[in-house]
């Protein structure tokens, strides 16, 4: 049976532990990719998730991976098997998806790209665990039970750590990060749409600094 690569799991463990907070980005204009990534970097981010939710996503990944190697680039919202190779070619160091099918998990293993699959129920967590994925996204975190869900999972499934995403904000980020089975948290609140539209990069740096200060 195909199984997730141990080195990839170690890489994800280090990358996400260091990141603490992972911005989930929808980049609509390629020209925004570098200034947005620089603003996040300046605020203290060490990794970003660029989602495949816009036409500009792959080109934005290429720009960030080529120009900002100090930022570990994650590719998010992978819904199709062939996307693993596409994001790898665009320079992503790892991939994430909002949910996982067996096909997707096997495609990730096949593509030899580190992968954070997502689960929202104990059975899904266990299926991914059987494939060797010990780091998973909990999505949608808030809607699937949030902190109570993480607390409930921590005792029976003690060796899986989560990146809760979906409904995380400045209001609850500290509570999420206090859970021992949370490796990092992800979310779009770090790059608010209106600030990106206005190209207000310094305001985005401040949003990140504020969240980083709250969790340190």
Taking only Cα atoms into account, the Rg of the chain, rounded to an integer number of angstroms, comes to 16
The nearer residue to ligand 3PG, 139 or 201, going by C-beta atoms, is 139
The nearer residue to ligand 3PG, 77 or 205, going by C-beta atoms, is 77
User: Pattern of binders to ligand 3PG over 52-91, x per CB under 6 A?
Assistant: ------------------------xx--------------
Catalytic residue among 130, 137, 198, 210: 137
Of 20-39, binders to ligand 3PG (CB under 6 A) are 24
Sequential DSSP letters for the chain: -----HHHHHHHHHHHHHHSEEEEE----GGGHHHHHHHHHHHT-SEEEEES-STTHHHHHHHHHHH-TTSEEEEE---STTHHHHHHHTT-SEEE-SS--HHHHHHHHHHT-EEE-EESSHHHHHHHHHTT--EEEETTTTTTTHHHHHHHHHTTTTT-EEEEBSS--TTTHHHHHTSTTB--EEESTTS-HHHHHTT-HHHHHHHHHHHHHHH-
Region of 55-63, 102-110, 161-169, 202-210 interacting with ligand 3PG (CB under 6 A)? 161-169
Q: Which of 168, 177, 191, 207 binds ligand 3PG (CB under 6 A)?
A: 168
Q: Would you say the C-alpha torsion 86, 195, 136, 100 has a positive or negative sign?
A: negative
Region of 101-109, 152-160, 182-190, 197-205 interacting with ligand 3PG (CB under 6 A)? 182-190
Catalytic residue among 14, 28, 49, 148: 49
Q: Which of 4, 177, 186, 204 binds ligand 3PG (CB under 6 A)?
A: 186
188 binds ligand 3PG (CB under 6 A): yes
Q: Which of 23, 43, 74, 98 binds ligand 3PG (CB under 6 A)?
A: 98
Contact between 207 and 189 under an 8 Å Cβ cutoff? The reply is yes
46 binds ligand 3PG (CB under 6 A): no
Q: Which of 86, 136, 144, 165 binds ligand 3PG (CB under 6 A)?
A: 165
Residues annotated as catalytic are: 49, 137
């Amino acid at each position: 049976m195909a199984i997730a690569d141990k080195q990839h799991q170690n890489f994800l463990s280090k990358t996400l532990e260091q990141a603490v907070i992972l911005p989930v980005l929808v980049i609509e204009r390629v020209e925004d990719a570098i200034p947005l990534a620089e603003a996040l970097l300046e605020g203290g981010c060490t990794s970003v998730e660029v989602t495949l939710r816009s036409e500009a996503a792959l080109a934005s990944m290429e720009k960030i991976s080529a120009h900002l190697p100090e930022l570990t680039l994650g590719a998010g919202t992978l819904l199709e098997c062939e996307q693993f190779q596409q994001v790898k070619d665009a320079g992503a160091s790892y991939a994430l998806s909002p949910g996982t099918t067996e096909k997707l998990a096997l495609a990730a293993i096949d593509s030899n790209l580190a992968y954070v699959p997502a689960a929202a129920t104990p059975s899904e967590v266990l299926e991914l665990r059987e494939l060797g994925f010990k780091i998973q996204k909990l999505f949608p975190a808030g809607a699937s039970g949030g902190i109570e869900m993480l607390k409930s999972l921590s005792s029976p499934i003690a060796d899986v750590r989560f990146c809760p995403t979906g409904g995380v904000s400045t209001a609850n980020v500290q509570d999420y990060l206090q859970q021992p089975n949370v490796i990092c948290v992800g979310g779009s609140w770090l790059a608010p749409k209106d600030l990106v539209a206005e190209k207000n990069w310094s305001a985005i740096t401040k949003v990140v600094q504020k969240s980083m200060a709250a969790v340190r």
